[in-house]
């Protein structure tokens, strides 16, 4: 067992958090929006400024970011630089990276960056981090050796939220690096339809279960782990549980009580949705091996340094965070679409939903005052080109403007060059179409499709026109390597911090998930006769709708 170290972070807040809307820079931004930003026409802006692409595209480690198709110009970014100064962004970033209590409502430091600092770096908890990391990576390589010898074929990660989404996303993204003799399964939902088909495919004696839970109390994970343990005992009665179950948690006592003796720990200063860099990343380390996992960490660390050192004007995570504030609070766009043009990034939008919406879906500032402005947008998406044949219609012609974030990868990890060229052509074309649109006049000049020949040309043109001027960002990676993926995820983490810091909120708690958990606990005995204190079908004290639904669901 690898023991974690708990607590120990300096309990001070060296950098106060002024709220963005109370600054002079915010008022200046509002003026800039009214005078200029609101009306900015992208196509015209490119005609006016032949160097717009060069001016508004930026290099970060492993990630090139083209911001030029956004409703900003260099003046907008300068106004945001002034806002970042007034909001003491640099000082607050430094305080967080140094281990101050950046999550005051849980009394915790926020140090996921320490998990990817190299051995010997002057980062908090460096020795403890590398102690666990070394043990975890040695274990991962041992599992890979057992797979190569035919002893293990399947890895099942049981966890939810941050204990599932990051590893599931990364293992899928790094498929090209996966150990060929291992299959990976991620069970998260308390819905038995999740675990049942997975168990049905497994050979118990060749399976390793990872029970991943920061708290080791999460209902879904504990319930699925109990199902897996019972299934394993029945299916492989003579095999020791200790050889087939490992735990990843800050709650070593609860893991031991569950019967898991082999455990990798982490710390309360690692938030669940920021935890894939440490022991929660065990499935990733098993999939790609210790060397590639170290490259994954190194990519994230390179992005950390960029975030910590680059001036705001060239700091890509900060610029993206500022853009999020611009769109949410000035343009009042309500959502952002993430469209990775790489099938390996299929789970990235789901991962980003937790990262961004659990972090910044808040409505009070750090002092508990109700916010007079909007915070987290809805983040959603699907890989391209699939999304083009589903929701892109709305993006191009719907009544809402949704900024789109394209992610393009220059080199593919497959041999089908023609497919990759088509993929990239589509990616570029979508950003172009969103921006340039098509006027009614241009649509009217087109030859109408035969089936629409009877419709008035001008009426048809109104259906076939595109408003254009719809913003998008394009992030470009050279290749989806472990290092590049690490950098990309760290970029998103710091971007979420930036918008949260400008809004003056706590991006690191998640009290909004508690009420539903508590109510589910109260409802369970009314739905399950085997629960202690069961009251099957009892609707007393419930609101009319919940009572009606309970009756419906429990009727014989
Ligand atoms: O959904 C709330 C939450 O606490 C997330 O923040 C977290 O990632 C998830 O539940 C899982 O928690 P745990 O790792 O403790 O099981």
pLDDT in tens, 306-362: 999 999 999 999 999 999 999 999 999 999 999 999 999 999 999 999 999 999 999
Taking residues 538-549, report their average pLDDT: 97
* Ligand 1 centroid from CA 55, angstroms: 41
**Cα torsion angle, 434, 357, 16, 275, sign:** negative
Q: Among 389, 441, 446, 522, which one carries the catalytic annotation?
A: 389
517 is catalytic: yes
CA distance 274 to 406: 23
Name the pLDDT band for 16 (thresholds 50, 70, 90).
Answer: low
pLDDT given for residue 38 in this prediction = 87
User: Is residue 2's pLDDT more than 50?
Assistant: no
Asked if pLDDT for residue 443 goes beyond 90, the answer is yes
Confidence of residue 19 (pLDDT cuts 50, 70, 90): confident
Determine if ligand 1 sits within 6 Å of the CB of residue 510: yes
- Choose one of 103, 110, 163, 355 to mutate for the ligand 1 pocket test, by most ligand atoms within 8 angstroms of C-beta: 163
The pLDDT-based confidence of 453 (bands split at 50, 70, 90) is confident
Q: Which residues pair with 339 in a beta bridge?
A: 406
Q: Whose CA is nearest to atom 8 of ligand 1?
A: 162
Does the beta carbon of 221 sit less than 6 angstroms from any atom of ligand 1? Answer: yes
DSSP 486-547: HHHHHHHHHHHHHHHHHHT--TT--GGGHHHHHHHHHHHHHH-TTSTT--TT--TT--HHHH
Look at 401 and 7; give whichever has higher pLDDT: 401
323 lines ligand 1 (CB under 6 A): no
Strand order in the sheet with 472-477: 57-60, 63-66, 472-477, 404-409, 335-341, 378-381
Q: What is the pLDDT of residues 348-379, one digit of tens each?
A: 999 999 999 999 999 999 999 999 999 999 99
Does the CB atom of residue 517 touch ligand 1 within 6 A?
Answer: no
Residues 125-152, mean pLDDT to the nearest whole number: 97
Q: Is residue 447 flagged as an active site residue?
A: no
Which pLDDT band, with edges at 50, 70 and 90, does 12 fall under?
very low
Is residue 4 pLDDT above 80, yes or no? Answer: no
Choosing from 158, 210, 214, 513 the residue with most ligand 1 atoms within 8 A of its CB, the one to mutate for a pocket test is 214
Is residue 162 within 6 Å of ligand 1 at its C-beta?
yes
Ligand 1 pocket residue status of 272, Cβ below 6 Å: yes
- The mean pLDDT of 249-257, rounded to a whole number, is 95
Nearest atom of ligand 1 to the alpha carbon of 212: 14
For residues 418-442, give the mean pLDDT.
97
Check residue 36 and give its pLDDT: 87
Q: Of 182, 143, 190, 184, give the one whose Cα is nearest residue 167.
A: 184
Q: What is the pLDDT of residues 461-515, one digit of tens each?
A: 999 999 999 999 999 999 999 999 999 999 999 999 999 999 999 999 999 999 9
Mean pLDDT across 44-49: 97
Per mean pLDDT, which of 4-18, 423-437, 527-541 is the most reliable? 423-437
Predicted local distance difference test score (pLDDT) of residue 15: 54
- Cβ–ligand 1 distance for 219 under 6 Å, the answer no
Q: Taking residues 283-302, what's their average pLDDT?
A: 98
The protein residue whose alpha carbon is closest to atom 9 in ligand 1 is 161
Distance between CA 294 and CA 115 in Å, rounded?
11
Give residue-wise pLDDT tens across range 90-114.
Answer: 999 999 999 999 999 999 999 999 9
* Neighbouring residues of 2: CB distance < 8 A, sequence distance ≥ 6: 131, 132, 135, 136, 263, 264, 265, 279
From the CB of 224, is ligand 1 less than 6 Å away?
no
Give residue 12's Cα distance to chain centre: 28
Measured in angstroms, how far is the CA atom of residue 163 from the centroid of ligand 1? 7
Mean pLDDT (the chain) is 95
Q: What is the pLDDT of residue 14?
A: 46
Is the pLDDT assigned to residue 6 strictly greater than 80? no
Does residue 86 have an active-site annotation? no
């Amino acid at each position: 067992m690898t023991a974690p170290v708990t607590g120990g972070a300096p309990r001070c807040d060296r950098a106060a958090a002024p709220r963005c809307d109370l600054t002079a820079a915010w008022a200046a931004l509002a003026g800039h929006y009214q005078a200029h930003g609101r009306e900015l026409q992208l196509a015209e802006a490119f005609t006016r400024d032949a160097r717009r692409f060069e001016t508004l595209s930026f290099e970060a480690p492993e990630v090139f970011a083209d911001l030029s198709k956004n409703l900003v110009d260099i003046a907008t970014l300068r106004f945001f630089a002034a806002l970042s100064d007034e909001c003491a962004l640099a000082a607050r970033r430094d305080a967080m990276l140094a281990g101050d209590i950046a999550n005051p409502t849980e009394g915790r430091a926020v140090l996921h960056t320490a998990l990817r600092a190299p051995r010997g770096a002057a980062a908090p908890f460096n020795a403890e981090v590398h102690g666990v990391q070394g043990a975890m990576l040695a274990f991962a390589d041992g599992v890979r050796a057992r797979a190569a010898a035919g002893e293990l074929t399947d890895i099942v990660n049981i966890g939810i939220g941050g204990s599932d989404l990051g590893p599931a996303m990364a293992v899928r993204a790094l498929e090209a690096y996966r150990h060929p003799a291992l299959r990976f399964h991620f069970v998260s939902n308390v819905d038995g339809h999740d675990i049942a088909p997975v168990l049905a495919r497994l050979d118990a004696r060749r399976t390793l279960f990872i029970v991943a839970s920061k708290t080791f109390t999460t209902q879904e994970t504990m319930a699925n782990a109990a199902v897996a343990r019972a299934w394993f005992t029945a299916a492989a009665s003579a095999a020791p549980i200790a050889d087939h179950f490992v735990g990843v948690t800050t709650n070593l006592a609860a893991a031991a009580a569950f019967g898991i003796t082999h455990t990798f720990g982490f710390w309360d200063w690692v938030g669940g949705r920021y935890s894939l860099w440490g022991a929660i990343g065990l499935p990733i380390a098993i999939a790609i091996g210790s060397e590639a996992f170290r490259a994954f960490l190194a990519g994230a660390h390179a992005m950390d340094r960029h975030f910590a050192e680059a001036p705001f004007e060239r700091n890509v995570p900060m610029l993206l965070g500022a853009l999020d504030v611009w769109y949410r609070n000035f343009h009042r766009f309500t959502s952002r679409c993430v469209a990775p043009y790489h099938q390996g990034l299929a789970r990235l939008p789901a991962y980003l939903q937790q990262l961004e919406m659990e972090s910044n879906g808040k409505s009070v500032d750090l002092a508990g005052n109700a916010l007079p402005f909007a915070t987290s947008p809805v983040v959603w998406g699907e890989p391209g080109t699939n999304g083009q044949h589903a929701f892109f219609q709305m993006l191009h012609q719907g009544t809402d403007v949704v900024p789109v974030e394209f992610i393009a990868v220059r080199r593919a990890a497959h041999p089908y060059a023609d497919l990759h060229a088509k993929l990239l052509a589509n990616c570029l074309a979508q950003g172009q179409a969103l921006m340039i649109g098509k006027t009614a006049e241009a649509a009217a000049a087109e030859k109408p499709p035969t089936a629409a020949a009877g419709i008035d040309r001008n009426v048809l043109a109104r259906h076939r026109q595109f408003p254009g001027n719809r913003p998008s960002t394009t992030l470009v990676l050279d290749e989806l390597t472990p290092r590049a993926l690490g950098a990309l995820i760290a970029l998103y983490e710091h971007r979420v911090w930036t918008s949260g810091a400008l809004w003056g909120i706590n991006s690191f708690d998640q009290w909004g998930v508690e009420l539903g958990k508590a109510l589910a606990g109260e409802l369970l005995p009314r739905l399950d006769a085997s629960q202690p204190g069961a009251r099957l079908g009892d609707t007393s004290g419930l609101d009319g709708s919940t009572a009606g639904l309970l009756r419906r669901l429990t009727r014989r």
